[in-house]
A and B are shown apart, each in its own frame.
Chain A
Amino acid sequence: MKNFIRNVSYFLSQIPRWGLIIPILAAILFRYFMIENPQIIPEQKAEKEVEFHIAPTEQDMKVLEIINSLPRNSKVLILVNYGPESRYELETAMSALIVSLAEKNIGIAFATMIPNGIESAFMAVEKSIENGSFGKERFVYGHEYTHLGFIVGGSIASYLIANNFSEVRERDIFDGITDIRQPLMKGINEISDFSAVFEFSSQTFDGIPGLVSFAATLHEKEIPKIAFCSSDMLPAYIPFQNSYYFDGLVGGFRSLSVFIHEIHPSIKIERQYSTLSAILFYIIGLVVFANFVNLGKKDKR
């Protein structure tokens, strides 16, 4: 067996690297353009359905249950703590959540602890409205959703949101006084007036996840808290998964894909997931191939 592996690796080391990398890459691209995304070619307009095999885990089900149990006409707070670097991971999930909340007529107040989060929130709202299955004819700023703006200070900002929300909600992002111009914010005087708090995050504040510092300073106020984080933030969020800081965590592309698929099947994530899986297999293949080649070269020496 050992000799067989050595022979194979020696054989591979004789072939120029690009001679193998290019055909594998071509196979991936072929799969993407011809099989998974054939509408790129003008003659083939019909999209082929891509099956989604992943079943939701217990944690995923818990998050879905919390969202489904939110009362109609209530209000939720969404902390948007991601920028363009995680847009492709989190934006679709956030727009799926917005579509789902809008169907139940739940008002959404956005706030952000990073400057980039302002744009991210509006882009997700835009994406939700553009979605074909968006149930509402009108989705008006100030009535159905609002943005309380950039709250400065990292973990101090989360302390403010948790304990001094009346200060935070004074003005919105367009400098509008919330009481007068924001009917959505009527009756919201403190954080417990929201029926849930969500965080979409791609960064930590002073090494602590935003929702963790928020929950740690919340002082026994019962309010469901759900964190959505990008793949690179998973190591920071996972340790708190079973703690009282979160009631649910959706982290990483796999969980986000399952969440989108379950909460709003009309938003197609299957193709993206399938392509990403193919690319990851390609990378693993490259790593294995590179090691084989290196092994062969060592033998040669």
Chain B
Amino acid sequence: MNIFGNLGALTAVLLTLVVFSGFFRQNPLYRFAESLFIGVSAGYFAVIWYFSIIKPTFQSALHGDLLILIPLIAGLLLFIPSNSARLYSRFRFLPAAFIVIITLAVNIPIYFNAFLKEMIRTSVIPLFAFDSNGNLQIDVTINSLLSILAVTSTLMFLVARHRRHSNFIYRTGEIGRFYILVAIGSAFAYTLLSRLILFMGKIEFIINAAKIRF
């Protein structure tokens, strides 16, 4: 593939370089690339939403599936202008309430199972791990014990931080605070790593493009 024969790749390289120019200072080219990116993204999303949702929905309605009219009407209700003096303006809350209720109905069991029950279970079990020969796996056991300490101390910190409690609860809560800081720090480090890989990928893309050309 010749990069200069491929307009798309050339545009991508140029736009990447233009976006990188924003590292130094704001310039008209960077602002142009920024606006272009927002415009293209909006266009792409509009097309995807149209072909994935709007078009199939109307096709179903035209083929006699009139149930589809209910969400259509509910969607249109959201556009009712806000005017508290008018009775009809209250109808716009109906679809919003429905969305909230359905989302909660689906998410609450998932949250309960995933974030409470299952996460605590996996922190505790197995508390003492043994290998196939029946020997205690010290590393896994220490990991389990640390996990229990992390879960209980973090919960203690979150629950009891605004109240005056005994010295024990306060100290345990401080351990929990340490764990929270470690969690935030590791999340930040992982995000940084992810962005670095993205940056590296872009550099590699430019190098490969230049390699093909020269």
Interface residue ranges, A against B (CB under 8 Å): 37, 39-40, 42, 85-89, 115, 118, 149-150, 152, 155-156, 159, 171, 175, 202, 206, 208, 212-213, 216-217, 230-235, 239-245, 252-253, 272, 275-276, 279-280, 283
Contact = CB atoms under 8 A, between A and B. Distances in A.
Nearest to B59: A175
B114 A212 contact: yes
B200 interface: yes
A208 B201 contact: no
A208 B110 contact: yes
Nearest to A216: B110
11 contacts: A85-B198, A175-B51, A202-B194, A231-B193, A232-B190, A235-B190, A239-B119, A240-B114, A243-B114, A243-B118, A279-B196
A208 B111 contact: yes
A245 to B, nearest CB: 7
B193 A243 contact: no
Contact of B187 (A212, A235, A272): A235
A231 B191 contact: yes
B200 A150 contact: no
Contacts of B183: 235
Contact of A235 (B44, B52, B113, B186): B186
Contacts of B198: 85-89
Interface string B101-139: 011001101110110001101100000000000000000
Contact of B119 (A152, A240, A272): A240
Contact of A86 (B45, B55, B186, B194): B194
B110 A155 contact: yes
B93 interface: no
A244 B106 contact: no
A251 to B, nearest CB: 9
Nearest to B55: A175
Contacts of A87: 198, 201
B52 A156 contact: no
A208 B107 contact: yes
